[in-house]
Amino acid sequence: MDLTLWKDKLDAYLDPQEGDMLRLLERIVNMDSFTTDAQDVDQLGTVLTDWLREAGFQTFMMPKTEAPADEPWQADLGHVFMAKTHGREAEPGIVFLGHMDTVFPKGTAQARPFKIEGDRATGPGVADMKAGLVANLFAARALKRLGLIDCPMTLMFSPDEELGSPSASRTLAQVLPGARAAINSEPGGPGGLVTVSRKGSGHMFLKVQGKASHAGRCYADGASAILEIAHKTLAIDTFLDLDRGLTVNTGLISGGVSANSVAPWAESRIHLTYRTLEDGQKVVAGIRDAVSRTVIPGTSASISGGLRLYPFERCEAGDKLFGLVKDAGELLGMSIKGQHYDSASEAGFSSSLGVPTICNMGPEGEHIHSLNEYLVPSSIVKRCKLIALTALQASRVFQPGK
């Protein structure tokens, strides 16, 4: 494999496109795409796939899969979008993974739009992971137009990764098997960091039903859902084990109708992370058992959800792919370093299907999910080339389903 020849062709093609990359990034950062705002997320998917269609890709808004009976809200999430160089039934080949949703509610983009000051770009989702989407688009188009790659390419755009890809994972399960490799362009770490392992995640939704009554006149006639959910929250928190890499966090809680009424309802959302699938399964089982135990007579509870994104664990094929990333980085003058990342991504899902996977290949940034989130604009072209050179090597090293 002549990496130097490939690099020279990519240099000539991609170097003049930095301005185009940043303009597309500005456009999509200034589009709100909060996970639960399906219309906004789908509008972003349309922009991305229209761009790829103009580049000669076949594009698809994938049909929604059936939502679980205990989580019907999944039906209201956005669609998975897909683009392919070959027919829909062709092997997936090299898969470029990315998610369209952000954690920032509608109106955030207008309040603090895309901005570049020096070598720092800001705006909602600029690093996580709209810059990664741009890098995937330009890398795939470069490989196609230069005629360098000899197998199919598939680009996947998920609408709900920030919730653990509950609906997207069902579509990915249909598309990813047999892929030669998966490149996930979550934000790269400053200084050439990419990710070779990540924790898994889970999301659970707890509902408690109580009985309303006047809190002053007939308190004993009621059954407080808020008191019950408080007991359950404390019981759930006992599964926290930082030394083991287990986090269990009740991040949202609500309930009741007024201060002088015994609360007839309460609900909470729980997020968990874990290093191994076995640990994740044990925690979910433990949480379900804790929820089944009633403390306040007259209340009842139900819990839905569970494990979402599986952990991205080290394996021989993944390490082999990481070696290809290092080779590409060396040629590009980048000192690539592998890291473990203490949160989940769709890299864990592709890896769990036996697909050689690498994560955090996108342009470099930090402080994601916060007002201080930023991207290093000067990294966007280099990371785009890193993705392209890795995809080229992987297309020749790995065979379908192996």
Catalytic residue positions, numbered: 101, 161
Residue 69, classified by CB atoms within 10 Å of its CB into exposed (0-12), middle (13-18) or buried (19+), is exposed
Return the HEC string of 77-115.
CCCCEEEECCCCCCCCCEEEEEECCECCCCCHHHHCCCE
Terminal-residue alpha carbon distance, the chain = 20
Q: Three-state DSSP class for 243?
A: helix
* Cross-strand pairs, 254: 267
Residue 63, classified by CB atoms within 10 Å of its CB into exposed (0-12), middle (13-18) or buried (19+), is exposed
Q: CA 308, CA 205: separation in Å to the nearest integer?
A: 13
Contacts of 8 (CB under 8 A, 6+ apart): none
Cβ–Cβ under 8 Å, residues 9 and 146: yes
